[in-house]
């Protein structure tokens, strides 16, 4: 997701931390309810709350009723607008900082079970032997049954040096396994790089956090200052769910010398914010092969769209997620947060990718060669499959989307390791998309060297 005005970020839940940043108040907020229709609606709402409070079979708290009513109202607008309780708002605020106090695991809740997706390399959980696929059944002696994921995150995150105990169920082990872990500062690397072969680099960006652009620039400078000049770059944004808007703009700017990167348009069509590229100290004119997938969303789509429209990179993979909207987070008086979609964003050519995604120049579905066979990716859940998704343009008619039961791509352990662990050249080259991108860059260099155009 992209959040603007008060903060900017995009949406797997990682036990991470982050900060918000502010960009200019482009959009006016008019919270007055001065129309007759609004007044009548609010009066009816108050009457309903009063009637429920006095007549419902069980006692209900008016505050809880109001919160649920607001949540229902906001969530009915689109999939990315919601009311955040104070705890969830705090998690959102720290989600892109790049480091946090915790035990070092990536978690999710497939089938409603709190599951370890991957331990992060060289963290307390990794060193203690917590494994991918472990199901966490207790945290500090408290059962995780019915626990929300943000509640679990909050219990495991905290100051360095404090102890956290977890109990896990592991496939093939009859009894729960107990771990007593001491929290440490957990760094999350959003940028990882490796040389695939002399002169050809590979950079993986897993999300867009506060240091992503500067870390990417450092990785580029290191590659560019090697014994051989950089002849080509594979930029991997597959399964990158997004992050901070300003970082997406800065990353795009590293490869562009001028022109529009992105424009943002809200309800008032005369209020348009345009971000343009600035001339770089280092001109990067080597070819780029940029990889995307159905899990590439928001910030990663901004980068892919900008480089594609400026013909600065060739896009390889499958159509991206298609989240082309911007959210703002407003802190409310009780400490909760209102996350609201306020704008659509557009690529340099003026194209909205909302519910459509970035279409690759070369369509190539991912396959991993493992155990003498190729394992193909499954179809992704896309923005267009989400209930109440926005249309690509405000004036376009809504089109009925067939219901999609697919819950997204199932990741193998090796894929998770490549995202959160150390890059391995041999494993990367077993990935058909990476191999194709490298061969494309090498072929381009050979053709250029021989004067073929």
Active site residue ranges:
298, 309, 323
- Both tokens assigned to 220: 């580029």
- Both tokens assigned to 145: 């049954």
Widest distance between CA atoms in the chain: 84
CA 270 to chain centre: 29
Query: What single-letter DSSP state applies at residue 378?
Result: P
Residue 163's nearest CA partner among 141, 143, 145 is 141
Q: Are 323 and 304 in contact (CB under 8 A)?
A: no
Long-range contacts formed by 3-7: CB under 8 A, 24+ apart: 3/245, 3/326, 3/327, 3/328, 3/329, 3/339, 4/245, 4/264, 4/326, 4/327, 4/328, 4/342, 4/343, 5/328, 5/342, 6/328, 6/329, 6/330, 6/331, 7/92, 7/93, 7/328, 7/329
**If phi over 0 gives left and psi between -120 and 50 gives alpha, with beta otherwise, what is residue 385?**
alpha
CA distance 292 to 307: 12
Residues in the chain: 453
Long-range contacts formed by 443-447: CB under 8 A, 24+ apart: 444/232, 444/287, 445/199, 445/231, 445/232, 445/287
Q: Which residue has the tokens 């990353």?
A: 251
Residue 308's nearest CA partner among 353, 264, 245 is 353
CA distance 296 to 305: 12
Residue 98's nearest CA partner among 221, 27, 189 is 189
Instruction: Compute the C-alpha angle 157/241/406, nearest 5°.
Output: 105
Bridge partners (DSSP) listed for residue 116: 107
Q: Which residue has the tokens 């970082």?
A: 247
| Element at 453 (helix H, strand E) | none
Which positions ≥6 away from 350 have C-beta within 8 Å?
263
């Amino acid at each position: 997701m992209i959040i603007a005005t008060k903060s900017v970020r995009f949406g797997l839940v990682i036990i991470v931390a982050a900060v918000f940043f502010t960009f200019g108040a482009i959009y006016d907020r008019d919270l007055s309810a001065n129309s007759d229709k609004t007044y009548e609606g609010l009066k009816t709402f108050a009457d309903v709350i009063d009637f429920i409070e006095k007549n419902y079979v069980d006692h209900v708290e008016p505050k809880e009723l109001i919160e649920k009513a607001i949540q229902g109202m906001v969530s009915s607008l689109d999939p990315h607008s919601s009311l955040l309780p104070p705890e969830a708002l705090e998690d959102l605020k720290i989600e892109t900082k790049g480091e946090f106090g915790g035990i070092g695991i990536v978690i999710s809740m497939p089938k409603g079970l709190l599951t370890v997706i991957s331990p992060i390399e060289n963290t307390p959980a990794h060193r203690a032997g917590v494994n991918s696929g472990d199901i966490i059944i207790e945290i500090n002696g408290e059962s995780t049954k019915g626990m929300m994921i943000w509640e679990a995150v909050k219990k495991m995150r905290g100051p360095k040096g404090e102890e956290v105990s977890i109990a896990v169920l592991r496939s093939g082990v009859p009894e729960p396994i107990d771990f007593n872990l001491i929290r440490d500062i957990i760094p999350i690397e959003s940028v990882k790089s490796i040389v695939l072969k002399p002169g050809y680099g590979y950079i993986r960006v897993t999300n867009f956090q506060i240091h992503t652009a500067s870390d990417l620039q450092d990785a580029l400078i290191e590659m560019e200052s090697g014994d051989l000049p950089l002849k080509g770059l594979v930029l991997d944004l597959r399964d990158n769910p997004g992050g901070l808007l300003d970082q997406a703009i800065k990353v795009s700017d590293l490869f562009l010398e001028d022109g529009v990167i992105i424009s943002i348009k809200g309800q008032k069509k005369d209020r348009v914010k345009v971000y343009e590229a600035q001339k770089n100290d280092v001109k990067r004119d080597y070819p780029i092969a940029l990889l995307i997938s159905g899990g590439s969303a928001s910030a990663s789509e901004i980068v892919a769209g900008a480089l594609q429209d400026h013909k600065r990179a060739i896009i390889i993979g499958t159509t991206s997620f298609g989240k082309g909207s911007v959210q703002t987070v407003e802190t409310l008086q009780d400490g909760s947060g209102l996350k609201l979609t306020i704008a659509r964003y557009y690529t340099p050519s003026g194209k909205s990718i909302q519910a459509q995604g970035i279409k690759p120049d070369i369509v190539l579905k991912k396959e991993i060669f493992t155990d003498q066979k190729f394992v193909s990716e499954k179809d992704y859940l896309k923005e267009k499959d989400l209930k109440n998704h926005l249309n690509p343009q405000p004036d376009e008619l809504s089109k009925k989307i067939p219901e999609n039961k697919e819950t997204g791509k199932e990741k193998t352990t090796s894929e998770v390791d490549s995202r959160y662990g150390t890059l391995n050249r041999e494993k990367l080259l077993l990935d058909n998309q990476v191999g194709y991108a490298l061969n494309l860059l090498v072929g381009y260099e050979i053709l250029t060297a021989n004067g073929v155009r």
